[in-house]
Structure 1
Amino acid sequence: MNCTAYDWLGAHIIDDGQTSGTRFAVWAPNAKEVCVVSDRNGWKHGAFYLNSSDSGVWSGFVPGMEAGEAYKYSIRMQSGEIIEKSDPYAFYAEIPPKTASIIYDLDTYQWSDDSWMNERRQRNWFSAPINVYEVHLGSWKRPGDDRKYFSYRELADRLIEYASDMGFTHLQLMPITEFPFDGSWGYQSTGYFAPTSRYGTPIDFMSFVNRCHQAGIGVLIDWVPGHFPTDGHGLGQFDGTSLYEHQDSRLGFHPDWNTYIFNYGRTEVRDFLLSSARFWCEKYHVDGLRVDAVASMLYLDYSREAEEWIPNKYGGRENLEAIQFLKDFNTSLHGEFPGILTIAEESTAWPAVSRPVYDGGLGFSLKWDMGWMNDTLKYMQLDPIHRRHHQNQLSFRSLYAFTENFMLPLSHDEVVHGKRSLISQMPGDQWQQFANLRLLLGYQGTTPGKQLLFMGGEFGQWTEWNHDAQLDWSLLEFDTHGGVKRFVHDLNHLVIKHPALHELDHQPEGFSWIQADDAANSVYVFARYSSEGKEALIIVMNMTPVPREGYRVGVPRSGFYKELLNSDAKLYGGTDVGNGGGVESEPTPMHGMADSIQLTLPPLGMLIMRAEPTRKETSTTEKA
């Protein structure tokens, strides 16, 4: 594998004191001629010819060309026809709808995030708190002037402080690799080595990442190796032949997205993608890549009828080349960049997605739990009167919760294409909708797994996400929306503060059901534990709008149980039904335990109760 192809392919500035200009190199093995076209030659084929090699790479030096100049490759195909292509390895591109590449020097930025990077290498993210805020940079907030977008640096001024205050540990950016069409949200990329110029320069984006790290926030980016668009300046039919894609449309074309599929079995294509992945970790210090649409890569028959796909050499439906590519991707990144995260959006039951390659897995750090998302939203969308008939819809997850290292997503996909916003999906009157939303977010934050929330969900935006407009921040003028935001703030900080809510997210020792079968009352009770049982939290969820007094819950140890969080608190927009700060356990057996606590359950509410340490435990902790 060659994972550093960006060091010699593409446009590289040369200035040795005697000679200055730019060296160009592009892979186009079936071309008859390749020229660099720019303002310097009127964008016409016939000057600045590149030389071919046996490897299919055309290269050459153009004196005088310097950083900031736009260029393309003019390629004469075997038919004699000339086509113009952007540089697949370009570091920067013109602002769409323009499509030329731009010469850029990435080595002029001075990073100052050594502390973060050194700590990251030692960090075990599986036992650390992870609260991810998924963001579309173009529509989180927009300037009030004539500009369409804030710059990377302006976003850093606003977004980092907000995310940090809210208790988000990571930002996950929807694709920032250059893309031509705003409506694709970046998921149809044409620039696998270039941050989109919509928000500024590559160095502006480096500054954004650097400042996130200085504030203690990780940066994850969406990365899309599953398909690429058919735009004429892009990778498709690059030298007049199917170079990056399969020639046969049954292998090389996605019917769902009208896009090409990479030929993962071709060495140069695999090196291109592996180099792109490494590039973002090396040059931009990103802390992880979330890989989109992994299922579409794994299955040859993905979204196809019987006659529309070709089986593998064994007659099966698995894409063997894509599987090997994903294993190589994870092995190389984790080996070279300890502490980064690779996250799979994989919507099927493919086994061992987040298990090491040496143990038969694909090697991802985390996998999105799409089953949790679907089951939970379907349950929460039910009128509470019907929830008693669907009690196992939430408890079912415990059958598979620890088969993978799961991330629990409430992502952009859940609030687009007519699905409505999260709060608009909640049943009942407005009070019930807000209570249900707090309950949903509380359940997400306390059940085993790492959390991801799409922007706007943290304050209950009413309307569906629209990439052409900023979030409706004016809603925070209302106490109801402000209450949801305060709840998410406090919940996130609890997840960070309390080891029981993050330390054993991927281990069954960190979780146990106390009561999962009370369908008559639609109540769930479970416990979360830190390592060696040092901390125990009891989570109680009342899924109906009926307060329940005197509800007895078995507890694993005797003592005082402090009410850490109550989603029905007046501060959050609730009715303030609760337990006066906490309750003392009683030696009354319940749920198979010797002790129990008697609670008042708030309507459509969640309680987080902490078993307070005894004097002996406190003394031991202080000595340690």
Structure 2
Amino acid sequence: MSTPYLLKPHPGPKFGETDAYLFRQGTHARLFASLGCQLRDGDSTGADFAVWAPNATSVSVIGDWNDWNAETDEMVQASDGTGIWQVHSPHVQQGQAYKYRIRTRQGDVFEKADPVAFFSENAPATASRAWSLQGHTWNDQTWMDGRAKANALDAPMSIYEVHAGSWRRKDGQPLGWRELAHELAEYVVGMGFTHVELMPVTEHPFYGSWGYQTTGYFAPTARYGTPQDFMYFVDHLHQRGIGVLLDWVPSHFPTDAHGLASFDGTHLYEHADPRQGFHPEWNSAIFNYGRHEVRSFLISSALFWLEHYHIDGLRVDAVASMLYLDYARGAGEWIPNREGGRENLEAIEFLQELNRAVYRHFPDAFTVAEESTAWPRVSRPIEMGGLGFGMKWNMGWMHDSLSYFRDDPIYRRYHHDRITFSIVYAFSENFVLPLSHDEVVYGKGSLIGKMPGDEWQQFANLRVLLAYMWAHPGKKLLFMGGEFAQRREWTHEGELEWWVTEQLPHRGMQHLVGELNRLLRAEPALHQLDFDAAGFEWVDPNDRETGVVSFLRKSADGESVLVVCNMTPQPRRNHFLGVPKGGTWREILNSDAQSFGGAGWGNLGAVRSAPMPSHGKPHALCLTLPPLAVLYLKRDTDE
């Protein structure tokens, strides 16, 4: 039997019987239509408020319109056992600040921000704001009508990860959503990326948390503008043909006094036992996924962004921390599940429920798990025992690749399997290959800074890494600044080092990434079978002595792109490789091209095959392999 999610427009502002039933069942997917502050439209005035605080003895709405007087707008608790408190206040106006004043059973008084607020005061202020989500006219219908194709598993997908506050700045200040929309869209279109992934934009009190310590699960941060400004941002990117993904954090939340922690004097959203409810690594609270109302809250948050902001997908943060009860804990610091194991059974059920809800109501959107372990079937259907995500970050590929490229090339022959092993499991999940913000913070240095050797070798190595990444099965994700080899480690204060793009090596790297994106879109062999073993074939994975890795990427109709990676600074002349068909094979990419900052070694643009069996293929190419470079070659079908 299908789960009875509520997603149709709610008939009225009050929390009714259907709401109560689904809320208690854990399948209410639209709490944002009945909880929080619902401003009345038309001839009606004021706003309806509703908040979940089952263990409070009294709740009032205090705000700008009543001089923060708790006696003016006292709320009434529903008699249905849900713990919902409601009141209508006739004097509320758009933009006014408010909080809930909650008296606990112990006699304590808390002033809490609204968990379902649509907008908040700008930090460090912590109140919610009464806000209507009306007023923006969407002009992205062409994108919405066609986004199923853009988001499909066989589509070319190259994701540009962005921190909104530090991509570019003006007079030292972050750009607002509307200005950022135009500048970012112009850049992303020019670079050829298909999607932008925003680090969390849900409201967060501490800017230095980058949004990962969320207090407002239904509010885009006020730092960059209003909810309508954020709608404009998404709308404009859609009009330019760019998908928008959000980093979303259902794994933990901060313990700020105005937030969700101890909301009504009890551990309402989080577990009471710190062995279950407190995250030692992030100093934050952990949601109680076994509580039905909490599941409804989180599922409603996820679908809210898809419905009201036309978001194309959610990257779900820190899934591993949700799946394992002993995550970041030692012996005696965690509680086994009901079967005696370390798996968080309630979190598993929640993640399955989340994905079921997303794909039922928004089948043309998708979810991505940031999951760093070998948990099986993360991106497989729930009916097959999977978690139901559309894709999963390939953290193993990332760690092995960066470890391999950190080595001086003279030692790479001893670690050849680091660059080839990923194919063993490449098709066990629908993988995204991430070079994300996590790899360029906390003293890890920039991507270019991880590369060994002098300046020439560093840039050549990074060009190899990126060209190898774009040829490897899986969708691509690159954090901002990596595309032009920013030397400084990323910091959320300030903007990217755009000035370095005036220098040839950096400008060449930027040009290379743009060309990789163009080829990714143009060549079905490079994207169509990303998640199918039929789309990949080794030519020679075992040439550890010369440091050459070669393989074929294949499309559904059998067209191939030959990828040859020379992982050493030694040029290789007369290097024979087998190919499946005879004829002229053109270089469609050479990462050593002068326009990319290379030396210009190569094969004069094309190589004619010889009818000589090699590597199990009927024909062979005799190639010149540039030092520390990648070649893409494609057979000329016009012959």
> Which of the five TM-score ranges fits, normalised by the shorter chain?
over 0.9
Instruction: For 1:134 and 1:341, locate their aligned partners in 2 and report how far apart those are by CA, in whole Å.
Output: 16
**Aligned residues of 2:105 and 2:265 also touching (Cα < 8 A):** yes
SS at match of 2:489: coil
Alignment of 1:340-355 (within 5 A): 340-355=365-380
SS at match of 2:585: strand
Instruction: For 1:66 and 1:353, locate their aligned partners in 2 and report how far apart those are by CA, in whole Å.
Output: 45
CA deviation digits over 1:485-532, x for unaligned, max 9?
000010111001100000000000000110111111000000000003
Instruction: For 1:300 and 1:567, locate their aligned partners in 2 and report how far apart those are by CA, in whole Å.
Output: 45
Q: Which residue of 1 aligns with 2:124?
A: 97
Q: Which residue of 1 aligns with 2:167?
A: 140
- Please tell me whether residue 267 in structure 1 is matched to residue 292 in structure 2: yes
Amino acid at match of 1:31: A
CA deviation digits over 1:49-76, x for unaligned, max 9?
0111131100010012011111000111
Q: Which residue of 2 aligns with 1:572?
A: 596
Q: Which residue of 1 aligns with 2:24?
A: none
Of 89, 105, 113, 2:140 maps to 113
Instruction: For 1:255 and 1:240, locate their aligned partners in 2 and report how far apart those are by CA, in whole Å.
Output: 22
**Aligned residues of 1:559 and 1:614 also touching (Cα < 8 A):** no
Instruction: For 2:203 and 2:144, locate their aligned partners in 1 and report how far apart those are by CA, in whole Å.
Output: 26
SS at match of 2:180: helix
Instruction: For 1:300 and 1:388, locate their aligned partners in 2 and report how far apart those are by CA, in whole Å.
Output: 39
Instruction: For 2:440 and 2:82, locate their aligned partners in 1 and report how far apart those are by CA, in whole Å.
Output: 47
Alignment of 1:244-283 (within 5 A): 244-283=269-308
**Aligned residues of 2:65 and 2:96 also touching (Cα < 8 A):** no
Q: Which residue of 1 aligns with 2:29?
A: 3
**Aligned residues of 2:198 and 2:245 also touching (Cα < 8 A):** yes
Alignment of 1:458-607 (within 5 A): 458-533=483-558, 535-607=559-631
Instruction: For 1:16 and 1:511, locate their aligned partners in 2 and report how far apart those are by CA, in whole Å.
Output: 59
How far does residue 43 in structure 1 lie from its aligned partner after superposition?
2.1
- Please tell me whether residue 32 in structure 1 is matched to residue 32 in structure 2: no
How many residues are paired up?
Answer: 611
Instruction: For 1:386 and 1:294, locate their aligned partners in 2 and report how far apart those are by CA, in whole Å.
Output: 35
119-128 or 312-321, larger mean C-alpha shift: 119-128
**Aligned residues of 1:586 and 1:596 also touching (Cα < 8 A):** yes
How far does residue 45 in structure 1 lie from its aligned partner after superposition?
2.5
Instruction: For 2:275 and 2:609, locate their aligned partners in 1 and report how far apart those are by CA, in whole Å.
Output: 64
Of 109, 114, 124, 1:87 maps to 114
How far does residue 572 in structure 1 lie from its aligned partner after superposition?
0.7
Instruction: For 1:392 and 1:73, locate their aligned partners in 2 and report how far apart those are by CA, in whole Å.
Output: 58
82-91 or 386-395, larger mean C-alpha shift: 386-395
- Please tell me whether residue 240 in structure 1 is matched to residue 265 in structure 2: yes
Q: Which residue of 1 aligns with 2:251?
A: 226
Q: Which residue of 2 aligns with 1:430?
A: 455
Instruction: For 1:460 and 1:15, locate their aligned partners in 2 and report how far apart those are by CA, in whole Å.
Output: 51
Pairwise CA RMSD of aligned residues? Answer: 0.9
Instruction: For 1:593 and 1:39, locate their aligned partners in 2 and report how far apart those are by CA, in whole Å.
Output: 76
TM-score, normalization by structure 1: 0.97
Q: Which residue of 1 aligns with 2:7?
A: none
CA deviation digits over 1:71-106, x for unaligned, max 9?
000111112221100000000000000000001110
Alignment of 1:32-181 (within 5 A): 32-53=57-78, 54-121=81-148, 125-144=152-171, 148-181=173-206
- Please tell me whether residue 361 in structure 1 is matched to residue 383 in structure 2: no
Amino acid at match of 1:505: D
Instruction: For 1:257 and 1:392, locate their aligned partners in 2 and report how far apart those are by CA, in whole Å.
Output: 34
**Aligned residues of 1:131 and 1:168 also touching (Cα < 8 A):** yes
How far does residue 606 in structure 1 lie from its aligned partner after superposition?
0.4
How far does residue 395 in structure 1 lie from its aligned partner after superposition?
0.9
Gaps of 5+ in 2: 1-26
Amino acid at match of 1:296: S
Q: Which residue of 1 aligns with 2:19?
A: none
How far does residue 398 in structure 1 lie from its aligned partner after superposition?
1.3
How far does residue 474 in structure 1 lie from its aligned partner after superposition?
0.4
Instruction: For 2:435 and 2:624, locate their aligned partners in 1 and report how far apart those are by CA, in whole Å.
Output: 29
Instruction: For 1:577 and 1:16, locate their aligned partners in 2 and report how far apart those are by CA, in whole Å.
Output: 70
SS at match of 1:603: coil
In the superposition, relative to structure 1, how do residues 584 and 377 fare at CA in structure 2: closer, same or farther (>3 Å)? Answer: same
How far does residue 15 in structure 1 lie from its aligned partner after superposition?
3.5
Q: Which residue of 2 aligns with 1:619?
A: none
Instruction: For 1:162 and 1:175, locate their aligned partners in 2 and report how far apart those are by CA, in whole Å.
Output: 21
Query: 4+ runs of 1 displaced by more than 4 Å?
Result: none
How far does residue 125 in structure 1 lie from its aligned partner after superposition?
1.5
In the superposition, relative to structure 1, how do residues 126 and 350 fare at CA in structure 2: closer, same or farther (>3 Å)? Answer: same
SS at match of 1:89: coil
Amino acid at match of 2:593: A
**Aligned residues of 1:256 and 1:303 also touching (Cα < 8 A):** yes
How far does residue 614 in structure 1 lie from its aligned partner after superposition?
4.4
Instruction: For 1:365 and 1:165, locate their aligned partners in 2 and report how far apart those are by CA, in whole Å.
Output: 27
TM-score, normalization by structure 2: 0.95
SS at match of 1:20: coil
**Aligned residues of 1:120 and 1:338 also touching (Cα < 8 A):** no
Instruction: For 2:594 and 2:65, locate their aligned partners in 1 and report how far apart those are by CA, in whole Å.
Output: 67
**Aligned residues of 1:345 and 1:367 also touching (Cα < 8 A):** yes
Instruction: For 2:195 and 2:613, locate their aligned partners in 1 and report how far apart those are by CA, in whole Å.
Output: 42
**Aligned residues of 1:29 and 1:239 also touching (Cα < 8 A):** yes
How far does residue 123 in structure 1 lie from its aligned partner after superposition?
5.1
Instruction: For 1:141 and 1:112, locate their aligned partners in 2 and report how far apart those are by CA, in whole Å.
Output: 26
SS at match of 1:250: helix
SS at match of 2:169: coil
71-80 or 277-286, larger mean C-alpha shift: 71-80
How far does residue 16 in structure 1 lie from its aligned partner after superposition?
4.4
CA deviation digits over 1:254-292, x for unaligned, max 9?
000010000001111000000000000000000000000
SS at match of 2:29: coil
Q: Which residue of 2 aligns with 1:621?
A: none
CA deviation digits over 1:409-466, x for unaligned, max 9?
0000000111100000000000000000100011110100000000000000001000
How far does residue 39 in structure 1 lie from its aligned partner after superposition?
2.1
Q: Which residue of 2 aligns with 1:208?
A: 233
- Please tell me whether residue 14 in structure 1 is matched to residue 40 in structure 2: yes
SS at match of 2:426: coil
Amino acid at match of 1:8: S
Identity %: 55
245-254 or 120-129, larger mean C-alpha shift: 120-129
Alignment of 1:384-403 (within 5 A): 384-403=409-428
How far does residue 108 in structure 1 lie from its aligned partner after superposition?
1.9
CA deviation digits over 1:305-325, x for unaligned, max 9?
110111111101110110000
How far does residue 122 in structure 1 lie from its aligned partner after superposition?
5.0
In the superposition, relative to structure 1, how do residues 472 and 451 fare at CA in structure 2: closer, same or farther (>3 Å)? Answer: same
- Please tell me whether residue 610 in structure 1 is matched to residue 637 in structure 2: no
Instruction: For 1:191 and 1:488, locate their aligned partners in 2 and report how far apart those are by CA, in whole Å.
Output: 35
Of 180, 184, 188, 2:213 maps to 188
Alignment of 1:246-325 (within 5 A): 246-325=271-350
How far does residue 392 in structure 1 lie from its aligned partner after superposition?
1.2
CA deviation digits over 1:572-619, x for unaligned, max 9?
11010000011111011111111001110000000000012145xxxx
